[in-house]
Structure 1
Amino acid sequence: MLKEHAKLLGAIAASGEITGRKKLQKMIFIAKKISFPFQEKFQFHFYGPYSEELTLRIEELCNMSFLDEVKEKKGGYFQYRYSLTDSGREFLDHFQSDDDTLKVCLEDMNLQSARFLELVSTVLYFDSLPREEVEEKVFTLKSKQKYTKEEIEEAYQYIEKLKSNIQ
């Protein structure tokens, strides 16, 4: 059980700090889709792929004082920042397998906007479909985001870049 918790702690440690619950969800989903061994199950939700399991594990890690969750008011909404506590680092030392490839991918993803990661994760969620159908899904399911064909192309290029980093 705690092995999966350790993987999440490792991902957050590799990223330094992750700002936003949505961003955290998308980063783990993308990492899983490009072959990193995360076990959480994802379903399509309002903001793209979402895992209730991941939400619960993050909550458990906060309750165990392994993760620090800082809630900040940003305009009309709250934003959450996640980072490891000293206890979390100690716990992680018992499990850690340094995966530099995962670290590089997560650091890169953490530099991207949550909006872009939402698009990338949506494209990956429907990766079994032909590209035209994926575009159609994006334009239909994510119409409020007003993604362009250029942004979708950028998402595909970004996925290839991430995949090339792990080969």
Structure 2
Amino acid sequence: MLKDHAKIMYAVAAAGEIIGRKKLQKIIYIAKKIAFPFQERFQFHFYGPYSEELTLRVEELCNMGFLNEVKEKKGGYYQYRYTLTESGKEFLSLNEIDMPYLADCLTDMNSQSARFLELVSTVLYFDNLTKEEVREKIYTLKSKQRYTEDEIEEAYLYIEKLKQKAKLQ
């Protein structure tokens, strides 16, 4: 029952702390796309792939006392910080999660900006299209972000780097 919840807890634990709801969404989506066994379904939304299921699971984990969510005022908006609580650490120690190499990938993703992860997740969302078609989607759907050719190429290289880290190629 809580296996999918435990995977999210493991992700937060491996990252240490995840700052931002958008960043959490992108990290889980990217991990799923590079073949880690996350079950949440994602749809394309304003900021790229988004999962209502993930939002609900995170909320449940906070309500159960396994995840700590701290809401901070940053300028004109609120930012959320996620960490594992002591109860969450105890729960994880009793429920082994077998996702080798995930921690290394998560640490790497967590060090990236939410803006870059939004680009990477958008590239992955349209991975059934050619590079040129993906570029067009990005320029159309993400015009406000003003991603450059170099950033898009960097996203492709980053995806390959993560796949290498995950030992999936």
**TM-score normalised by structure 2 residue count:** 0.97
**What is aligned with 1:10?**
10
Q: Deviations over 1:105-124 (max 9, x none)?
A: 00000000000000000000
Q: How far, CA to CA, are the matches of 1:38 and 1:148 in structure 2?
A: 30
Q: How far, CA to CA, are the matches of 1:94 and 1:4 in structure 2?
A: 15
Show the 5 A alignment for 1:113-152. 113-152=113-152
**What is aligned with 2:63?**
63
Report the residue type matching 1:137 in the other structure.
Answer: K
Q: Deviations over 1:48-86 (max 9, x none)?
A: 000000000000000001000000000000000000000
Q: How far, CA to CA, are the matches of 1:158 and 1:38 in structure 2?
A: 20
Post-superposition offset of 1:98: 5.4
**Worse overlay, 42-51 or 100-109:** 100-109
Post-superposition offset of 1:96: 2.2
Matched, 1:104 2:117: no
Q: Deviations over 1:7-43 (max 9, x none)?
A: 0000000000000000000000000000000000000
Unaligned ranges ≥5, structure 1: none
Post-superposition offset of 1:100: 4.2
Q: How far, CA to CA, are the matches of 1:132 and 1:110 in structure 2?
A: 28
Q: Secondary structure at the match of 2:101?
A: helix
**What is aligned with 1:81?**
81
Root-mean-square deviation (Å) = 0.8
- Percent identity, aligned pairs only, is 74
Q: Secondary structure at the match of 1:68?
A: strand
**What is aligned with 1:31?**
31
Q: How many pairs does the alignment contain?
A: 167
Post-superposition offset of 1:99: 3.6
Q: How far, CA to CA, are the matches of 1:100 and 1:37 in structure 2?
A: 11
Q: How far, CA to CA, are the matches of 2:35 and 2:4 in structure 1?
A: 15
Post-superposition offset of 1:95: 1.4
Post-superposition offset of 1:93: 1.1
Post-superposition offset of 1:97: 3.0
Q: How far, CA to CA, are the matches of 1:166 and 1:67 in structure 2?
A: 25
Report the residue type matching 1:127 in the other structure.
Answer: D
Is contact 1:10–1:96 with CA below 8 Å preserved after alignment? no
Report the residue type matching 1:58 in the other structure.
Answer: V
Q: How far, CA to CA, are the matches of 2:71 and 2:148 in structure 1?
A: 32
Q: How far, CA to CA, are the matches of 2:131 and 2:98 in structure 1?
A: 35
Q: How far, CA to CA, are the matches of 1:163 and 1:64 in structure 2?
A: 33
**TM-score normalised by structure 1 residue count:** 0.98
**Worse overlay, 93-102 or 119-128:** 93-102
